Amino acid sequence: MSSDLLIQNGRVIDPANGIDQKCDVVVVDGQIAEIGRVEEGAAKSAKRVIDAAGRLVVPGLIDIHVHFREPGDEEEETIASGSAAAVAAGFTSVVCMPNTNPVIESETDVEYVHRKGRKARNTHVYTMGAMTKGLQGVELAEMGMMAEAGALGFTDDGRGVQDPAVMLRALKYAQMFDVFIAQHCEDEAFAGKGVMNSGYFSTILGLPGIDALAEEAMLWRDIQLIRKTKVRYHAQHISTAGSVELIRAAKADSLPVTCEVTPHHLLLTEECCAEYDTNYKVNPPLRGSGDIEALKRAIAEGLVDALASDHAPHLQSEKELEFLAAPFGIASLECALGLYVKALVEPGILDWPGLIRLMTAGPAKIIGIDKGTLAKGKQADITIINPDSEYVIDVNTFRSKSRNCPYNGWKVRGKVEKTIVQGEIRFEA
């Protein structure tokens, strides 16, 4: 058999199929043609051979929570620059949040993002649509039209839907299209004008706090609504020990509830805000070490369905404002894998197959795309990782347009060497 690409001798990890073994991967016509040991002569007839000895060969990574700022804030990020950052970081699929300017709330908006993504030819670029018009939490957006245009699901990310009656209507509407609903859980009555976690540190720093209850109250409310509607519901960036318990109880009751965790909620605490460095200003805010422990335990127990960066690029000029005025967000897409390795693999919370599952099959299932696996016949989205290679995160090398990354200078392990999308090598270190 003549192949387009033969990846030899790697440790192939495909959690969706329980594969973790040294073998070869054959790609023909942009699809996985074979996984296993290929015969001696195969290398001769392959158009390109990659020796992946000592490397991990895994399904292309999927990030279901990124902000690419286009349309509206192209100086912070564009779909082209964001997806270039993503592909260099090992991602082959990303899901954009709809809180752009204007908001993604019509079928033409959805088509716009997808078209820009295709044109950039980096990763597959998907988008979610707004749940309510203008993210105002009052009138429902045209979810049906957007779903038809390919929106994977709906969220007002950046804000939670405050009115429980509106949320219930949104869930009932979503039921008609078999899409999922995602929520940025934040009860604004509890959050107020808070800029960091509420507690000892916010008090000594003299900054208004966001109580853990802001997240937990909305998550609790939503779970009651899911009990009623049984719509697929995804809690974005959960950050507190209380949220973990709510998710645990919802799953124990077999409700269709999933959740994601970001790198910063696993690696950074509220104490990081002590120098008023706005690179640590993020929403939900950095919490305490007890919350981090609870999130890690939840991941070890299998309660967390996906890891997601919540990549939120911002201009330096904006992040240089005082802590109260600066925007929320961390740009972490380009170092996400190394951060997860540091948070989860190095301390033994997950092994490599466990980590890869939460970055491939797990997120693919939430958003309902036929990806995240290396099964025969699937699109050849593949990431090749050197698990031992250590490197220093340097924001000046980012392909992202933004530099608001508190991990600059951190040493991490797990370097992406090649990213293959639909059988095409789109990134090579």
Shortest CB 185 distance to Zn ion, Å? 9
Q: Contact region for Zn ion (CB under 5 A) — 1-9, 142-150, 153-161, 269-277?
A: 153-161
Q: Which stretch binds Zn ion (CB under 5 A): 13-21, 178-186, 194-202, 419-427?
A: 178-186
Examine residue 187 and tell whether it contacts Zn ion (CB under 5 A).
no
Contact between 270 and Zn ion per CB under 5 A? no
Judged by CB under 5 A, the number of residues near Zn ion is 3
Nearer to Zn ion, 52 or 66 (CB): 66
Q: What length is written for the chain?
A: 429
Q: How far apart are CA 185 and CA 259, in angstroms?
A: 11
Question: Residue 338: CA atoms inside 13 Å, Cβ hemisphere, count?
Answer: 25
3-state secondary structure at position 212: helix
What residue number has its CB nearest to Zn ion?
A: 184
Q: What's the closest the beta carbon of residue 46 comes to Zn ion, in angstroms?
A: 41
Binding to Zn ion by residue 296, rule CB under 5 A?
no
Cα–Cα distance, 276 to 290 (Å, whole number): 22
Told to check if 260 binds Zn ion by CB under 5 A, we report no
Interacting span for Zn ion (CB under 5 A) from 140-148, 263-271, 307-315, 368-376? 307-315
* Residue 215 binds Zn ion (CB under 5 A): no
Looking at the Cβ atoms of 3 and 404, the one nearer to Zn ion is: 404
Instruction: Kindly tell me which residue out of 116, 184, 314, 426 binds Zn ion, with binding defined by CB under 5 A.
Output: 184
Task: Decide whether 179 or 182 has the Cβ nearer to Zn ion.
Answer: 182
CA separation for the pair 3, 63 (Å, rounded): 29
Tokens coding 380 = 């050849």
Q: Is the Cβ of residue 14 or residue 186 nearer to Zn ion in the bound state?
A: 186
Is 76 among the residues that bind Zn ion (CB under 5 A)? no
In angstroms, what is the minimal distance from the CB of 69 to Zn ion?
Answer: 11
Instruction: Decide: residue 397, CB within 10 A, 0-12 exposed, 13-18 middle, 19+ buried.
Output: exposed
Of 22-30, 76-84, 182-190, 195-203, the window that binds Zn ion (rule: CB under 5 A) is 182-190
Q: What's the min distance (Å) between Cβ of 103 and Zn ion?
A: 13
Contact between 184 and 157 under an 8 Å Cβ cutoff? The reply is yes
Q: Does 399 bind Zn ion (CB under 5 A)?
A: no
Answer yes or no whether residue 70 interacts with Zn ion by CB under 5 A: no
Which uninterrupted H or E stretch holds 391?
strand 382-392
- Interatomic CA distance for residues 78 and 325, integer angstroms: 24
Among 142, 216, 291, 310, binds Zn ion (CB under 5 A): 310
- Helix residue ranges per DSSP H, 121-271: 143-148, 164-175, 188-191, 200-205, 212-229, 241-252, 264-267
The upper half-sphere exposure of residue 315, i.e. CA atoms within 13 Å in the direction of its Cβ, equals 8
Least distance (Å) between residue 296 CB and Zn ion? 21
Minimum Å gap between C-beta 155 and Zn ion is 8
Least gap, CB of 65 to Zn ion (angstroms)? 6
**Dist. CA 343–CA 329, nearest whole Å:** 19
Q: Applying CB under 5 A, does 311 fall inside the site for Zn ion?
A: no
Q: What does the block give as tokens for 293?
A: 């422990």
Of 102-110, 126-134, 303-311, 357-365: span binding Zn ion (CB under 5 A): 303-311
Question: Sign of the C-alpha dihedral, residues 400, 404, 409, 414?
Answer: negative
Which residues are within 8 A (CB) of 372 and not within 5 positions of it... i.e. 6 or more apart? 16, 59, 60, 62, 360, 361, 362, 363, 364, 365
Tell me the C-alpha distance between 274 and 279, whole Å: 12
Is residue 371 part of the contact set for Zn ion (CB under 5 A)?
no
Q: Does 77 interact with Zn ion (rule: CB under 5 A)?
A: no
Instruction: Give the catalytic positions in this structure.
Output: 310
Q: Which residue lies nearer to Zn ion by CB, 157 or 381?
A: 157
For residue 29, the one-letter residue type is D
In the set 63, 77, 105, 157, which binds Zn ion (CB under 5 A)? 157
The footprint of Zn ion (CB under 5 A) covers: 157, 184, 310
